[in-house]
């Protein structure tokens, strides 16, 4: 039997699967949506967050969606990858991965992906591949008439829980009036913010983004949240703003207060030193961000909870490989987020629904975006009791709203931002601001 082949634009030849759904076209559209002045260890969110929307269209006219970071270097890598995967077959994501790797062969640069120094060292190919994989799975699901969760092994939960992701924040961007949340710069402000978010979404776990104020103040904030929400599990994430010694002190102070402490100190070795004394599990989306970090981290028992994120772990299926490794080595799994839109939320929800050991409430920045700003048709994703109901329509279960997409693309063109840079934005207002970590 002869195997039919297809040749990509760069000349590489790949086998064509018999039930082929060839990629005819790929649209890559950068978008910008309003963001609030959220504080973190490296600065403050700018007035707009950037994302890239990937739309793959097959010869037969089926389209699939993916979403990723919006920073220019990453956008350009996705454009190069897109040129290399046109003509390939949506079921053959292994071949598509190879074509992505090939497209990056002459590019030695890393970074420039919109995580503002919060997550470093991840595999560039995994990040570029991720939105294409998600779009292919969307199409595979549509062609087979099943939701993406079925392609990932089937859902084990009908609703995926998310956490109330609290941020210290200014009332509004300087020179603008206060936004709907107003300021949160002390425990009382955070408690008020938590009430507002929890009243609206019903979240059953709380995460506080720390690394903004001296640790004693953030410990005080967690204790205030504990008093106000005695039944909700709490987490604190300073993004490695503390030394090992400071982290040990915080761990002692928060003994019995948090379900996990996220990235207290930098690097695997720092986390391992803290883990030796901390009573609570340590979690990370900074020390372990690619498969090569797992062996040394496991050997040192540096981390007890890994925050997965399909945007940098190479898509949904590779995130499930991560889940299997975590299960094997007795580590638990949670989910990290950055500012994102509805395609990402749909993908995160399908993944978490079909990954049995992803059983912590996942992170999402969802409450921080304007409700009317998205690229998907409104109403496909339903919030219920702190979670998102897993869509059961074929594919991701979200459809592109082309008018909304055009609006957010125009916003991208107008806003002038081409990369996320929380530090430079902060220095406009506090010229001596230091983003150095650890800080305390």
Ligand X SMILES: O=C([O-])[C@@H](O)[C@@H](O)[C@H](O)[C@@H](O)C(=O)[O-]
**Residues of this chain that bind Mg ion (CB under 5 A):** 237, 262, 285
Tokens representing 113? 């992906």
285 binds ligand X (CB under 6 A): yes
Please say whether the beta carbons of 222 and 206 come within 8 A.
no
Q: Which stretch binds ligand X (CB under 6 A): 243-251, 311-319, 335-343, 391-399?
A: 335-343
CB of 367 to ligand X, least distance (A): 12
Q: Taking the CB of residue 123, how many other CB atoms lie within 10 A of it?
A: 18
Interface with ligand X includes 119 (CB under 6 A)? yes
Our finding on whether 336 is near ligand X (CB under 6 A) is: yes
∠ at Cα 367 (163, 205), nearest 5°?
A: 15
Residue 339 CB, nearest approach to ligand X (Å): 6
Task: Name the residue nearer to ligand X (CB basis): 62 or 239.
Answer: 239
Ranked by CB distance to ligand X, the top (closest) residue is 118
Query: How far apart, in whole angstroms, are the C-alpha atoms of residue 231 and residue 102?
Result: 50
Nearest approach, Cβ of residue 43 and ligand X (Å): 9
Q: Does 239 bind ligand X (CB under 6 A)?
A: yes
Residue 384 burial by Cβ neighbours in a 10 Å radius (0-12, 13-18, 19+): exposed
Residue 51's CB is within 10 A of a number of other CB atoms, namely: 26
Binding flag, residue 14, ligand X (CB under 6 A): no
Work out whether 426 is an interface residue with ligand X (CB under 6 A): no
Q: Are 307 and 271 in contact (CB under 8 A)?
A: no
Can you read off the two tokens belonging to residue 181? 């949340």
Q: Residue 40 binds which entry of Mg ion, ligand X, none, with Cβ cut-offs from 5 to 8 Å by kind?
A: ligand X
Choose between 115 and 206: whose C-beta lies nearer to ligand X. 115
Cross-strand partners of 48: 34
Write out the two tokens for 377. Answer: 């048709």
Identify which range of 61-69, 97-105, 111-119, 178-186 contacts ligand X by CB under 6 A: 111-119
Q: Is residue 118 close enough to count as binding ligand X by CB under 6 A?
A: yes
One residue of 29, 62, 93, 116 binding ligand X per CB under 6 A: 116
Q: How far is the CB of 414 from ligand X (least distance, A)?
A: 23
Cβ burial 291-318 (10 Å sphere, 16+ → b, else e): bebbeebbeeebbbbbbbbbbbbbbbbb
- Cβ closer to ligand X: 38 or 205? 38
Residue with tokens 């638990």: 332
Crossing angle for the helix pair 316-328 and 342-353, to the nearest 10 degrees: 40
- Examine the residue annotation and report whether 192 is marked as an active-site residue of this protein: no
Q: Phi-psi bin for 207: left (phi > 0), alpha (psi -120 to 50), beta?
A: beta
Report how far apart, in Å, the C-alpha atoms of 438 and of each of 51, 169, 273, 294, 421 are: 28, 21, 15, 22, 19
Q: Which of 114, 134, 132 is nearest to 49 (CA)?
A: 114
- Closest approach of ligand X to the CB of residue 32, in Å: 15
Query: Phi, psi at residue 325, to the nearest 5°?
Result: -65, -45
Q: Measured in whole angstroms, how far is the alpha carbon of residue 277 from the centre of its chain?
A: 29
Q: How far is the CB of 263 from Mg ion (least distance, A)?
A: 5
Structure tokens at 91: 């079921």
Restricted to residues 169-228, the positions that interact with ligand X (CB under 6 A) are 209
Number of H helices, E strands in the chain: 13, 17
- 283 near ligand X, rule: CB under 6 A: no
State in angstroms the smallest separation of the CB of 5 from ligand X: 41
Site for ligand X in 65-104 (CB under 6 A): none
Q: Pairing mode, if any, of strands 159-161 and 23-34?
A: unpaired
Is 252 an active-site residue?
Answer: no
Nearer to Mg ion, 29 or 284 (CB): 284
Catalytic residue among 209, 350, 369, 419: 209
Q: Among 50-58, 81-89, 113-121, 406-414, which window interacts with ligand X (CB under 6 A)?
A: 113-121
CB of 120 to ligand X, least distance (A): 11
Q: Does 338 bind ligand X (CB under 6 A)?
A: yes
Give the interface segment with ligand X, choosing from 143-151, 336-344, 389-397, 403-411 (CB under 6 A): 336-344
Q: Which of the residues 353 through 372 are near ligand X (CB under 6 A)?
A: 363
Query: Should residue 38 be labelled a site residue for ligand X when binding is judged by CB under 6 A?
Result: yes
Residue closer to Mg ion (CB basis): 46 or 237: 237
For residues 40 and 120, give the distance between their C-alpha atoms in angstroms, rounded to a whole number.
Answer: 16
Nearest to 46 by CA among 205, 204, 221, 170: 170
**35 belongs to the binding site for ligand X (CB under 6 A):** no
| Residue numbers annotated as active site | 209, 336
Interface positions with ligand X (CB under 6 A): 38, 40, 115-116, 118-119, 209, 237, 239, 285, 336-339, 363
């Amino acid at each position: 039997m002869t195997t039919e082949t297809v040749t990509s634009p760069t000349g590489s030849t790949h086998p064509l699967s018999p039930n082929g759904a060839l990629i005819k076209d790929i649209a890559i559209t950068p978008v910008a949506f309003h963001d609030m002045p959220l504080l973190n260890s490296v600065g403050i969110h700018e007035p707009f967050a950037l994302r890239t929307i990937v739309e793959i269209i097959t010869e037969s006219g089926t389209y699939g969606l993916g979403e990723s970071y919006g920073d220019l270097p990453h956008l350009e890598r996705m454009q190069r990858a897109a040129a290399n995967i046109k003509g390939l077959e949506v079921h053959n994501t292994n071949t598509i991965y190879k074509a992505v790797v090939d497209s990056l062969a002459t590019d030695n640069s890393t970074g420039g992906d919109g995580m503002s120094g919060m997550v470093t060292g991840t595999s560039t190919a995994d990040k570029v591949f991720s939105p294409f994989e998600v779009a292919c799975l969307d199409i595979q699901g549509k062609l087979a008439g099943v939701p993406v969760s079925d392609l990932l092994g089937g859902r084990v939960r009908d609703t995926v829980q998310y956490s109330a992701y609290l941020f210290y924040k200014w009332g509004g961007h300087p020179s603008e009036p206060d936004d709907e949340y107003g300021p949160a710069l002390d425990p009382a402000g955070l408690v008020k913010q938590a009430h507002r978010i929890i009243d609206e979404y019903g979240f059953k776990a709380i995460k506080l983004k720390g690394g903004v104020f001296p640790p004693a103040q953030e410990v005080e904030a967690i204790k205030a949240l504990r008093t106000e929400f005695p039944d909700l599990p709490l987490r604190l994430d300073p993004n490695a703003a503390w030394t090992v010694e400071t982290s040990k002190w915080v761990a002692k102070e928060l003994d019995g207060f948090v379900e996990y402490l996220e990235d207290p100190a930098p690097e695997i070795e720092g986390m391992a030193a803290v883990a030796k004394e901390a009573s609570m599990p340590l979690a990370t989306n900074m020390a372990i961000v690619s498969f090569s970090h797992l062996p040394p981290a496991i050997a040192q028992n540096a981390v007890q909870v890994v925050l997965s994120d399909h945007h940098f772990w190479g898509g949904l299926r590779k995130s499930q490989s991560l889940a299997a490794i975590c299960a094997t080595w007795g580590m638990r799994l949670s989910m990290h987020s950055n500012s994102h839109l509805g395609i990402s939320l749909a993908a995160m929800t399908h993944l978490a629904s079909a990954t049995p050991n992803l059983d912590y409430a996942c992170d999402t920045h969802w409450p921080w975006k304007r409700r009317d700003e998205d690229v998907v048709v409104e109403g496909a994703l339903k919030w219920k009791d702190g979670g998102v109901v897993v869509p059961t329509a074929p594919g991701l279960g979200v459809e592109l709203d082309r008018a909304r997409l055009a609006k957010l693309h125009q916003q991208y063109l107008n806003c002038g931002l081409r990369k996320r840079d929380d530090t430079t934005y902060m220095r406009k207002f506090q010229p001596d601001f230091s983003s150095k970590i650890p800080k305390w």
